[in-house]
Amino acid sequence: MSDALEQARQAALAELARTPKARPWWVDALVLAVLDVGVGVALVALLPTHGEQHDGAVLRLVTAAGLLLVAGLGAVAAVRPGALPSRWVVLGAAGLAALTSLLGVSGVGGAGLWGGAACTVFEVASSVVPLAAATWVLSRFAADPLRAAVAGLAASAGGLFALHFTCPIGTVAHVGVFHLVPWLLMGLLSLGIRRTVGSATWAP
């Protein structure tokens, strides 16, 4: 064995001695999923809720369940090793979640720029910890733009879920511009952040 290979072997064995126990991928996935879903649920539990955003309770609950699925399954999909679904499946799922949020809005209320900005700030602020956690987990393996975007959408889905129950404004423009656009932008932001953060390993 050449000197270079011997050095590589020694470095690998030293790392093995340092971390003798493997950390299964699903531990990270579970932590992120619980965090993403937990943030949304906790905010709804802590903040006053409103029923004005949607016309019907059933659609409201269906949309809420969809958003929680995006948060939980998105976190798992972003971290799970192996091939991701195609980008079209991811775009389709994000589009479906967005469309469901817009369907059945009540049209009640209105908000100027400041009312809308409050929702955007709320969503961004509620995404900070989940997004930081997702970035930390993703940085432990090879960079993948699609995974980063999925992780970002999942991380901010908790905030979107919370807004779904706590925001009293039900106009299409408000929900679209101040709830959904920030959500999609968080997916892009996650992608941008991941590009700037190095990788601890090159594992797929």
Residues at the site binding another protein, with contacts judged by CB under 8 A: 1-2, 4-5, 7-9, 11-13, 15-16, 19-25, 27, 81-83, 140-144, 199-204
Least distance CB 192 / another protein (angstroms): 16
Q: Do 36 and 155 touch, CB atoms closer than 8 A?
A: yes
What is the torsion angle, in degrees rounded to the nearest 10, for the CA atoms of residue 116, residue 121, residue 122 and residue 125?
170
Least distance CB 146 / another protein (angstroms): 9
Closer by beta carbon to another protein, 20 or else 48? 20
Q: Pick from 180, 159, 167: which is nearest to 52 by CA? A: 167
Closer by beta carbon to another protein, 22 or else 57? 22
Place of tokens 């700037």: 196
Closer by beta carbon to another protein, 14 or else 57? 14
Beta bridge partners of 54: 105
Least distance CB 79 / another protein (angstroms): 9
Least distance CB 165 / another protein (angstroms): 36
Q: Do 101 and 160 touch, CB atoms closer than 8 A?
A: yes
